[in-house]
Amino acid sequence: MIRIVAQSVVKDDKREEYIQLAKELIEKSKQEQGCISYGLFQDINNPSIITFIEDWEDQNAIDLHNKTEHFKRIVPLFADLRVSKGDVNLYREV
């Protein structure tokens, strides 16, 4: 299993737009083969910090996910809604 943690600092006036796009991405991604879980989390102390936490069966499932229509359409839209480029880290359980 591979866990992806993708954190963004979202512009205050773009937060709701970001969340709505994220919900569409999550809904469609959860239907993909190899997706174990896919959630969106908002920092309690700083609501502008929004983080995706995703679990995938393997790298192949992630590669297929990154090629889907919804991923290629929605993810680029996040760029204009963030304060800066987001951080994406992949983890393997040890």
* Domain membership flag for residue 56: no
Q: What is the pTM of this model?
A: 0.92
| The predicted structure's pLDDT at residue 31 | 97
| The predicted structure's pLDDT at residue 65 | 97
Three-class HEC string of the chain: CEEEEEEEEECHHHHHHHHHHHHHHHHHHCCCCCEEEEEEEECCCCCCEEEEEEEECCHHHHHHHHCCHHHHHHHHHHHHHECCCCEEEEEECC
* Domain membership flag for residue 57: no
| The predicted structure's pLDDT at residue 14 | 97
Q: Name the domain count of the chain.
A: 1
pLDDT string in tens for the chain (94-residue length): 999 999 999 999 999 999 999 999 999 999 999 999 999 999 999 999 999 999 999 999 999 999 999 999 999 999 999 999 899 999 998 9
The boundaries of the domain holding residue 18 are 2-51+69-92
